[in-house]
């Protein structure tokens, strides 16, 4: 009878230990999943920021383009170019071509560039 009582107590202790471990694993996984989602958003924001910076830098260094007058915005890899100063059709085409060459750019909208 003692052996049975010891075996039952051991089985109960192991069951409770395993249940606690499983519960603890579930409790810690949810925040990790949330953190992974937040990390994806942060990575996306960083990518957009990087793309915007790279486009702006390339436009500023390109001769014949008024890079300092062109505003660059990026949202999920889609780059929007705009300006308050008129640019020629050639400058507009060149700005779009430069932007499309940058890694991570999915699309370019140059509707905001005023043409002469």
pLDDT averaged over the chain? 79
Architecture of the domain whose range is 2-112: 2-Layer Sandwich (3.30)
pTM of the shown model: 0.63
Residue ranges per structural domain of the chain = 2-112
pLDDT tens for 36-75 read 666 666 666 669 999 999 999 999 999 999 999 999 999 9
Task: Please give the pLDDT value at position 116.
Answer: 74
C-alpha distances out from residue 13 to 5, 6, 10, 74, Å: 12, 10, 5, 57
């Amino acid at each position: 009878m003692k052996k049975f009582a010891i075996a039952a107590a051991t089985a109960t202790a192991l069951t409770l230990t395993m249940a606690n471990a499983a519960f603890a694993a579930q409790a810690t996984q949810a925040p990790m999943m949330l953190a992974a989602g937040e990390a994806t958003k942060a990575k996306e924001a960083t990518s957009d920021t990087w793309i915007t910076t790279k486009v702006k830098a390339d436009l500023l260094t390109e001769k014949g383009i008024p890079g300092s007058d062109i505003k660059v915005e990026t949202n999920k890899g889609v780059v929007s170019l705009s300006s308050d100063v008129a640019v020629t059709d050639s400058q507009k085409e060149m700005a779009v071509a430069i932007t499309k060459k940058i890694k991570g750019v999915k699309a370019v909208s140059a509707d905001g560039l005023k043409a002469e």
